[in-house]
Structure 1
Amino acid sequence: MLQGVVSPRLAVPGHIARPPYADDGVVRRWDEDRVKSPETIERMRHAGAVAAEVLRLAGEMVKPGITTDAIDRYVHQLCIDRNSYPSPLNYNGFPKSVCTSANEVICHGIPDSRMLESGDIVNLDVTCYIGGVHGDTNATFLVGDVDEASRQLVQVSEECMWHGIEAVVPGRPLSDIGRAIEAHAKNF
């Protein structure tokens, strides 16, 4: 896959609350309690809902001829319009507001000037910081006419995710999640 040109980082208005790494790109150790208060959980739900809405709208842009840089600019503005900080921006120096992983890029792809083409698949990873918490979501989108193997990859990957989520049970080992995912994936 050819890499495009990465445009300059976009600015975030001063009134938007920022995560601790926003200015210097340094991600520090997180010392918060792992057990969240009901108020924090509600803020997490809100941040997740904001991220889900931004992802849905960004997904509507996915089509042949659009650049991932254009998607990044749109996601950036959608976050700002919702008084949220686009969490990927400057996280460990990441230069963009959304991760866009096309085709063989596994994750955390950097948006650039490359145009999406019919037959591509692209994952959009949207995270919004609002209310002192991050809402994080992603989805993989089909670009134009996609071959059956790619369609099946996207479908089975989503099914694997749901099998993994269903395996999250209090008191059960984390390894159960991987086993559930692997068991489903091996069927294909």
Structure 2
Amino acid sequence: MVGIVVVSHSARLAEGVVELAREMGGDVPLIAAGGLEPPAEGEPAPLGTDAARVMAAVEQADDGSGSGVLVLMDLGSAVLSAEMAIELLAPETPVRLVPAPLVEGAVAAAVASQAGMDLDAVAAEALGGLAGKQAHLADPDAPPADASAPADASAPANASAPADASAPANASAPGDAPAPADAP
């Protein structure tokens, strides 16, 4: 059975997505990898991502059958942490990072894994997770969307631009844990 890891900057968000997906996916291995290590027992986990935490979650989600593990991530630096985790894993563990919507993708992936689909099919289902919502909310009379135009005409033209365009593309967000120094 394909395992699923949900990576989020927020431990509570990752746990909530896993809870929802588990309701639909039954006994599918679903593991949350969210937030950073709490500073003290009973304290909430600070926001951020940690490659070592993601790696441990992937290892936990892998049932050893060779089916593999699907990883869903919330924001940019979560992708970087997941990529670093994959580099640290044993190469025989099949892992797929997918740019799917976090909630819908996790639910669709859990259902697909529960149905016995392989890693490629589970990834495809996760990627198609928004299709039902998009179809339901589609306005047949609306003109086709222009990807280069802002969604809201009152929004500034650069509303989708990064806050700091001079920042390197691989910069991590504040609160992200550094990569483990003892990588193999």
- Flag whether TM exceeds 0.5 (same fold): no
TM-score, normalised to structure 1, is 0.28
TM-score, normalised to structure 2, is 0.28
